[in-house]
Structure 1
């Protein structure tokens, strides 16, 4: 249990589809001033990774401290997909609410279905501004900050920079006053520059919303005793990023500030960190200890400058997105192994498919799956050269394969038992008068 200041406020802000596309992560054309300032005031994690390159499974692990396949979230929560947390799974809001924190959620949630009843089932006392733009979301969050009883847990979810219903980023004006950067894994074309200007506009609006929340904390004179955390669910909604196991899909921004606990000074931490580590770290730092049965580890000692065991590997998964696409991955500082469990061409999420950039990359991203991919992330940071059949890398491949299988077993991954059935399949069987196993009722 931590000896840090107890009963501090916790403001945990997430957003959709950002990856690490911020100024503070080396993207100077992105007008993310409020978030860049937060990084300078607090801590920045340089090697933080999502546990899934897609929304609901990533968020489920982030907020439960357990990998998505172990809590029932093997796909997207919204209709028609309908994945849901297993009964009894505990969200961060459950732990904090039971310990005396007032709990509020504002904006996008997407761990489970986004109705008031479902949000309350996660342990929140208050919910507002679901799926609204950055200005509305920030205003609702500011209202909570100004009125909340201490200590409070405020969870804010920004929709930006998710693509809109037309597959573009036009919910906010584009921004290119500092130039436009096209990520190296995308073709540098006029269409790509146009889209990246839209992305920058969406990120700017989200960052400005974060800035308004931080200003409200300061107005209440709560900066010292408020632990602010910012992250995102996964990478940009672009080819070779969102819904893929490549680093642009799994690498995430992670920023923290808590002056009373010494989380200040613009430190940049290079420890290998998984989203599944965040919940145990938060509970440990708030003096509540680390519950049994979690998959993540607390990095609170690291934040306090104390030598402690660190991750040597992080793991990721994808089972369903818009289609069945089961894959698992393990990453070290140097290497990554990706295992595919079904044959098909590479699937591309629907929102990314509508991008004009995707049309220029079809031959690259829609291709036959290898059974296993292995990459040297130092020699090949864009993960272009699969080394799985290279004899010189056989030992690395064997070590990572054994680690991946052990992780799947240790976390009760249903994929080891065969193909995973979806809620949609179960619903169809029910309409046909059959049980989930395909047999008539006994």
Structure 2
């Protein structure tokens, strides 16, 4: 069934990666898995910048982070400029009513100009509160226009793991925890991931409540539902890094015009989401959009797959590391090009962030058995090289850096030249060595006034 102007429900959670049953993680996500089976799942979706705000800005604008200026966390001075149009603006101009519940992290709270804004206080970021508000909106809205409803949740960010007993029905038992292969299997890891996976279970339940409300209020047949996340989960070689475990995203869609039970392995960067939704709504894609629609792929029409995606890291708030207390907005420009078979990373300032970009091997003498998640692995302080190269077709965990091996010299040079060409076209500040200045003072805007 096709709908000329379908409703859009866009659900984006925090820090999930692909940690769901549908992606072969041994976690409790039955509702999301069923949703995926009833729609289309993308198994090779990635963000274009593995930091919360830049990734969301990429998805909302269809543009790279350095193109929009949203190159760090919004509350640390990098909120998406008002001069940048988002899908909210395009759909509003196309006759849609725009509404938001929960967390919108590409800008500061209240700055996205939704017609219906339900983000009013910190607790609204919790999944159950966001879904409550969304359901109330669906119950009472004027049906004279199609809607775009954006829902963001604090779950499953590691700052919400502590709610396991209070909100999630208890942590998953350590013996039942799924430990990703690149994580050390220690007591600290299992205790922390037990809370993480309880948060996934809770998110899964809240998402199903939302789907039930769509059905109950007669919206299920004319609404495209998108479920995704901003980047990979927290942990070793994960969130904030350009390794696959840091940039991988869940991406599932269901609704009119979308085939059921399909899985696509095409490379899908999250700048492609906006043009896809605009095409699904029969609206034009503006010239400044840098992503490409994958709507033809789902429609079974001619589609030119992405042969590579480009990813960037710029600023990210993090602990200072090395036993030094405090938190900082760290500038660490890294660029990468990811093809189906290879992943090349270029560290533009290798000395910038020694403890973030860890080697894979855990020293056998290290004991990470206390209760702190990040003590499960040691603080890494080895100097980084300028380049890394992984043959992901045969090494999907990116265990073996082949950048210095002679048999990969030609492919490394080809990927580097292509990446530098992409950077040059955009006058990338990482090429000049200039450090961008914050767009505005750090802070949470109107939320700074809340207790």
User: CA distance change for structure 1 residues 411 and 303 in 2, over 3 Å: closer, same or farther?
Assistant: farther
How far residue 85 of structure 1 moved from its aligned partner, in angstroms, is: 2.2
Structure 2 Cα separation of the partners of residues 177 and 418 of structure 1: 46
SS in 1 for 2:346: strand
User: Among residues 14, 17, 20, which one is paired with 1:16 in the alignment?
Assistant: 14
TM-score by length of 2: 0.86
Q: Which 5+ residue runs of structure 1 have no aligned equivalent?
A: 429-442
How far residue 4 of structure 1 moved from its aligned partner, in angstroms, is: 4.8
SS in 2 for 1:423: coil
Structure 2 Cα separation of the partners of residues 347 and 6 of structure 1: 51
User: CA distance change for structure 1 residues 242 and 355 in 2, over 3 Å: closer, same or farther?
Assistant: farther
Q: Is the 8 A contact 2:174 2:194 kept in 1?
A: no
Structure 1 Cα separation of the partners of residues 235 and 85 of structure 2: 32
How far residue 224 of structure 1 moved from its aligned partner, in angstroms, is: 1.2
1:200-239: CA deviation from partner (whole Å, max 9, x where unpaired):
1111111111111111100012111000000000001112
Number of matched pairs: 411
1:38-70: CA deviation from partner (whole Å, max 9, x where unpaired):
101101000000111110010000100000111
Q: Is the 8 A contact 2:276 2:294 kept in 1?
A: yes
Q: Is the 8 A contact 1:337 1:397 kept in 2?
A: yes
Structure 1 Cα separation of the partners of residues 135 and 371 of structure 2: 34
Matched, 1:405 2:420: yes
User: Among residues 316, 324, 341, which one is paired with 2:348 in the alignment?
Assistant: 341
Structure 2 Cα separation of the partners of residues 222 and 188 of structure 1: 44
SS in 2 for 1:291: coil
Q: Is the 8 A contact 2:101 2:151 kept in 1?
A: yes
SS in 2 for 1:298: coil
User: Among residues 185, 190, 194, which one is paired with 2:191 in the alignment?
Assistant: 194
Aligned positions of 1:63-78 closer than 5 A: 63-78=60-75
SS in 2 for 1:186: coil
Structure 2 Cα separation of the partners of residues 177 and 216 of structure 1: 34
SS in 2 for 1:89: coil
Structure 2 Cα separation of the partners of residues 314 and 169 of structure 1: 36
Partner residue, 2:397: 382
Partner residue, 2:138: 145
SS in 1 for 2:408: helix
Aligned-residue Cα RMSD (Å) equals 2.3
Q: Is the 8 A contact 1:344 1:369 kept in 2?
A: no
Partner residue, 1:324: 331
Q: Is the 8 A contact 1:50 1:316 kept in 2?
A: yes
TM-score by length of 1: 0.88
Structure 1 Cα separation of the partners of residues 336 and 19 of structure 2: 22
How far residue 109 of structure 1 moved from its aligned partner, in angstroms, is: 0.6
Q: Is the 8 A contact 2:259 2:298 kept in 1?
A: no
